[in-house]
Structure 1
Amino acid sequence: MADYTNDARFRELQFLAQFEQTPWVKKHYSRGGVSFESSKERQMILSLILRGMLNGPDVRYTPYGNAYVNNTHELATSMEQQNRIETARLIESLLNGQEVTLEMGHLGRLRLFELQDQLRATRLREAFGILFDGRHVERDLAVAILNSRPDEPVSLAYLDMNGLKSFNEDGDHATGDAAIKAFFHAVDKAVSGAGDAYRKGGDEVVVIMPGTPLKEAQRRMHGALASLANEAVEVKGVPRKLSSACGLLSVSTPQAKVEEAIQRADHLQKEAKEASKRPDGSRRSALKVQDADMELI
């Protein structure tokens, strides 16, 4: 698993995302004796303050003028001086170990979305060029969770294709490739416009759908599995149907843990995998949604 948490862009994004949930964040760092991690965070906050993204002029609530400022030129000069003084006082308080209250302004929100776009732009595709590479799953899910709330949850699906090994063994490597590409295309098409799909392993796929209610996510994953049921790949001239097991859940709190969410989705997928078995040994697609009955397709 790539350690995305050490990426300075992600750490800044993670910090700024707090202000989408609450208007103010209080921070305090001991004067002098701070850990390496705390020191990095303090440096980041100081940088955000100096760039006007935290506690800048755009979060001011009181006017600059007073009874002693009578013309526009004096007011402009006063504004600049007050802005510098207030920034200096805030930084001095932070460096002196005092608790400070931080607020994100418009520049901070622009920076938040800029960081999200930057991270998305760095994503690579898997070998077939259909889905995103699985190395980006944890980071992208972490970003989606940071932006989640009860009315805008993140839906997370974990899929595992059935029988890839038999396609390779009964046919050849090209047959297996044809089967897995058909699987990837079915999933990618079903989630288009709602989220992104990632190749987690050889025949495992993770789907992240930000701001997507569970019912809508269920409809899309059912569509993916139904589409897959209509696909067939020839194995030595004989058509063979495709199928997959899928686990699906939603996350609605920014405090949720990425690894735990993926593990829970994988556990639901394994339940679906077990239910997908037919008496004759063949498999059909199965969808297991959190707190819902198994759906066989």
Structure 2
Amino acid sequence: MNPLRVAIVGFGKIARDQHVPAIAAADGVELVAVASRNASLPGVPHAATLDELLRDGPPIDAVALCTPPQVRHAQAAMALAAGKHVMLEKPPGATVAEITPLVTAARAAQRTLFATWHSRFAPAVEPARQLLAGRKVTSVKITWKEDVRVWHPGQVWIFEPGGLGVFDPGINALSILTRILPQPLFVTSADLAFPANRDAPIAATLALSDAQGLNITAEFDFLQTGPQSWDIDLDTDGGPVTLSMGGARLRAGGKQLVDAAEAEYVGLYRRFRELAATGESDVDLAPLQIVADAFLLGRRRTVEPFEEAT
């Protein structure tokens, strides 16, 4: 089988830190071009924009869109119209509804649309799902707190409309939760803290449930200093279960069941290659729907302005 020839569109921190090494480590996938106005990769053909890449760049089979979510819909539509498979970094878009036309376009073009949730490929997530399949979950607590100044330095778009603010990392926890729990989840209340000078929240508290009345709470914070927290604690009829380090570790019954190195993005590209081989799409919007409902239902509070130190 010929390798899947991928172009990365948008070459910021996530593309450099995750996508480039993952493509190099994934069998059957090859990085053949980069499209970015502000950055390039030595030795790899470069274009300033996606349309320039499609017009003048080397032959490609697929694009990985690592641009801010506010511009991904137009780029995905352009790539699908050009007959390319499309990987969408998370979140897949700035709104829920804009993804549906892309699914339709991918089906018509017989091309893959892959809305990725990289945290679902963390090493402890599937073992946790299998463990919980035999248990009754009685409550869940999410604690997802990190420092935006460390993980998103200079990324102004994240606090602009459609950038999600603290839900950019928080949606990772929701993507795990919607994978490991068997029932659909919905928001029952939300408190959103917006800096006075920003258009997206810097902290949030959510309450969620399912049709059986499961009690779920989530605390998201974008100003955590010191140790960072990416934890999901579940009470079950078989004892407590904890997913920590963003899904890299699983503990249950007083034992560490999984403690593995991160390899999420390699899993993403393996899945992308499998999908592209048949033209199948994989688009689960449940995590994005929860965030959208949090904005719809949430009580908004104004907090002190956020200024990133220079």
TM-score normalized with structure 2 length: 0.26
- Which structure is richer in relative contact order (CA contacts within 8 A, separation 6 or more)? 2
- Structure in which a larger fraction of residues adopt helix: 1
